[in-house]
Amino acid sequence: MENEQILSLIKEALAEVAPTRKADFANVQLETSIESLGLDSIATMEMVGFIEESVDSTFPDEELAGLITSGRVAG
């Protein structure tokens, strides 16, 4: 997947889990930290689940704990 596709997927996932905050996520980049998104743990896991479904893949739990940036979630 190209970086632009990954970023688009991340923004789509964010819009899905926090639709009222779409404008807040307009400037999200691959380097954006997940923590800076201001999502609670449930929304974060929903975002990851959306991405997993979109790419038809599952991220191992031990890898999820170490993810720091949104680009690493989708990459």
Q: What is the CATH number of the domain that holds 42?
A: 1.10.1200.10
Sign of CA dihedral 30, 12, 68, 65: negative
Q: What are 14-46's pLDDT values in tens digits?
A: 999 999 998 999 899 888 888 888 988 899 889
- In 3D, which of 57, 40, 44, 56 has the Cα closest to residue 13? 44
Q: In terms of residue numbers, what domain contains 34?
A: 3-74
- In 3D, which of 2, 12, 4 has the Cα closest to residue 53? 12
- In 3D, which of 44, 26, 49 has the Cα closest to residue 34? 44
What is the distance between the alpha carbons of residues 26 and 20, in angstroms, rounded to a whole number? Answer: 12
**pLDDT computed for residue 72 by the predictor:** 59
Total count of domains within the chain: 1
**pLDDT computed for residue 16 by the predictor:** 94
Share of the chain above pLDDT 90, in %: 32
